């Protein structure tokens, strides 16, 4: 092939011993992060600790920032902004922004969840984000969340992650009796109201009154003893069921990682570590770890919240300029996963314009559906600028779309940032089995994503 033609680079094919070591070492830190941060609250708390250890201090509105400042803004414990103020003038150079999200698809408890049916204590749920419901039955689930009790006290729940912990469960039919269910369209095997969580099976035999000798009563007593909570406390709680799986190396060669919630912690980790590891003092950098991306980036902790612009305004006013001027000069990498080409499901992908495992960070110029609807279509100029930065810094990257034209589609936070007059392009780690309880990524791509962010903020 001549040097005039384009070909993707496989990272593992080209990596020397030292690079292989760096890739595998970096993946270890990531696996720790992803196991410790299965919900946005936990991921946020984890990164706050890491930032504090690097000298980051909480930011408060009204505070005047100066070059050299390293601050974080913890938005309601679910959404985090890390800001490092550089020596360059923000009115001239803008801010380098990397935005990823720390929420993942999961199963949430409803506000009145508990009931008993035929000797089983169960909980009603309402799923969060785009899931294929049948994938969530018959696997071990862990319970994570926060309960705000009637006295205002907040209780954190985390059960199912330790080997000695119990797990929770959604049941499915045995094949012997599934003929009718099997005949349904694949997506209708389990309905939204079928995702009921198994919580217990032993009745409260010590009850003096017959009516209290129930499994639900026993469960309420356990919850009261363990958390001091009553049934009504679920009214003001956020409790999620997530897969109880730990991140594991995949395959004999250990080149891949299987885990819950790669989307989008596999971009969040390189985003915040690139910033915390950065020794450059020129650029002003902001890393956003957003919540609510999986349900449309709405609300106080989502990317559409005014807080994003407010923080840029605060940086601008510290230097006697205005947010509009800073935004006009700012640039953003929207760091979100993309669909990796899966040899098992070739029919949904267009091979020339797919991202492939271990071929580097995946730039997606436009997302959306049908005729690029609802997409931030990054300009050729901006993609060219990013391409130049990556090439000068030896970052291995590729480009791809999420599936064939008219096959489906998806979106990211990119458009909300671009709507604020900030050049933005999507760049993410390719994922297999996206939004399933156990997703797969390549360690090589994770590392290239990190190198890409380091180059971008240098």
Q: Which residues contact 33 (CB under 8 A, 6 or more apart)?
A: 43, 46, 265, 269
> In whole angstroms, how close is the CB of 128 to Mn ion at the nearest point?
11
Measured from the CB atom, the residue of 233 and 445 that comes closer to Mn ion is: 445
> In whole angstroms, how close is the CB of 341 to Mn ion at the nearest point?
18
> In whole angstroms, how close is the CB of 113 to Mn ion at the nearest point?
25
> In whole angstroms, how close is the CB of 66 to Mn ion at the nearest point?
34
Q: Which residues bind Mn ion (CB under 5 A)?
A: 263-264, 336
> In whole angstroms, how close is the CB of 12 to Mn ion at the nearest point?
25
Measured from the CB atom, the residue of 294 and 313 that comes closer to Mn ion is: 294
CB 202 within 8 A of CB 121: no
> In whole angstroms, how close is the CB of 245 to Mn ion at the nearest point?
18
> In whole angstroms, how close is the CB of 293 to Mn ion at the nearest point?
6
> Judging by DSSP bridges, how do beta strands 256-259 and 439-442 pair with one another?
antiparallel
User: Residue 262 has which token pair?
Assistant: 């790669």
> In whole angstroms, how close is the CB of 355 to Mn ion at the nearest point?
14
Measured from the CB atom, the residue of 303 and 396 that comes closer to Mn ion is: 303
Measured from the CB atom, the residue of 77 and 129 that comes closer to Mn ion is: 129
End-to-end CA distance of the chain: 34
State the CB neighbour count (10 A cutoff) for residue 214: 16
Measured from the CB atom, the residue of 263 and 313 that comes closer to Mn ion is: 263
Measured from the CB atom, the residue of 42 and 336 that comes closer to Mn ion is: 336
> In whole angstroms, how close is the CB of 101 to Mn ion at the nearest point?
6
Q: How far apart are CA 139 and CA 171, in angstroms?
A: 9
Measured from the CB atom, the residue of 58 and 408 that comes closer to Mn ion is: 408
Q: Which residue is nearest to Mn ion, using beta carbons?
A: 264
Using only C-alpha atoms, the chain has a radius of gyration, in whole angstroms, of 23
CB 260 within 8 A of CB 53: no
State the CB neighbour count (10 A cutoff) for residue 342: 18
Q: What are phi and psi of 441, to 5 degrees?
A: -135, 170
Measured from the CB atom, the residue of 100 and 196 that comes closer to Mn ion is: 100
Measured from the CB atom, the residue of 196 and 301 that comes closer to Mn ion is: 301
Burial class (CB in 10 A: 0-12, 13-18, 19+), 55: exposed
């Amino acid at each position: 092939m001549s040097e005039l033609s384009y070909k993707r680079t496989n990272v593992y094919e080209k990596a020397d011993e030292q690079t292989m070591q760096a890739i595998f070492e970096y993946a270890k830190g990531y696996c720790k992060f992803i196991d410790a941060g299965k919900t946005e609250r936990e991921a946020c708390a984890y990164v706050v600790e890491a930032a504090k250890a690097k000298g980051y201090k909480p930011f408060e509105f009204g505070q005047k920032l100066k070059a050299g400042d390293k601050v974080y803004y913890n938005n309601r414990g679910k959404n985090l902004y890390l800001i490092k103020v550089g020596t360059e003038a923000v009115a001239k150079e803008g801010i380098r922004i990397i935005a990823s999200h720390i929420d993942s698809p999961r199963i949430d408890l409803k506000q009145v969840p508990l009931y008993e049916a035929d000797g089983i204590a169960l909980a009603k749920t309402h799923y969060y984000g785009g899931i294929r419901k049948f994938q969530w039955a018959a696997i071990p689930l862990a319970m994570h969340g926060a309960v705000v009790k009637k006295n205002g006290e907040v209780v954190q729940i985390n059960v199912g992650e330790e080997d000695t912990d119990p797990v929770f469960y959604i049941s499915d039919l045995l094949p012997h009796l599934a003929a009718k269910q099997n005949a349904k369209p694949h997506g209708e095997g389990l309905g939204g109201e079928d995702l009921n969580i198994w919580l217990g099976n032993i009745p409260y035999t010590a009850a003096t009154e017959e009516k209290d000798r129930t499994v639900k009563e026993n469960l309420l007593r356990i919850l009261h003893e363990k958390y001091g909570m009553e049934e009504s406390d679920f009214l003001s709680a956020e409790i999620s069921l997530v897969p109880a799986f730990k991140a594991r190396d995949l395959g004999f060669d250990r080149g891949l990682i299987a885990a819950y919630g790669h989307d989008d912690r596999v971009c969040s980790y390189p985003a915040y570590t690139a910033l915390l590891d950065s020794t450059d003092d020129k650029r002003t950098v902001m890393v956003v770890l957003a919540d609510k991306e999986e349900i449309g980036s709405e609300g106080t902790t989502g990317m559409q919240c005014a807080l994003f612009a407010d923080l840029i305004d605060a940086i601008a006013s510290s230097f006697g300029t205005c947010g509009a001027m800073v935004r006009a000069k700012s640039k953003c990498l929207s760091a979100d996963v993309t669909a990796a080409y899966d040899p098992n499901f070739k029919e949904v992908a267009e091979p020339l314009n797919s991202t492939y495992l271990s071929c580097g960070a995946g730039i997606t110029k436009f997302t959306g559906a049908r005729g690029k609807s609802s997409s931030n279509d990054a300009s050729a100029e901006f993609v060219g600028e990013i391409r130049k930065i990556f090439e000068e810094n030896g970052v291995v990257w590729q480009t791809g779309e999420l599936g064939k034209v008219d096959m489906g589609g998806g979106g990211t936070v990119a458009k909300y940032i671009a709507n604020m007059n900030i050049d933005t392009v999507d760049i993410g780690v390719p994922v297999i089995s996206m939004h399933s309880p156990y997703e797969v990524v390549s360690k090589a791509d994770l590392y290239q994503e990190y190198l890409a962010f380091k180059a971008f903020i240098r």
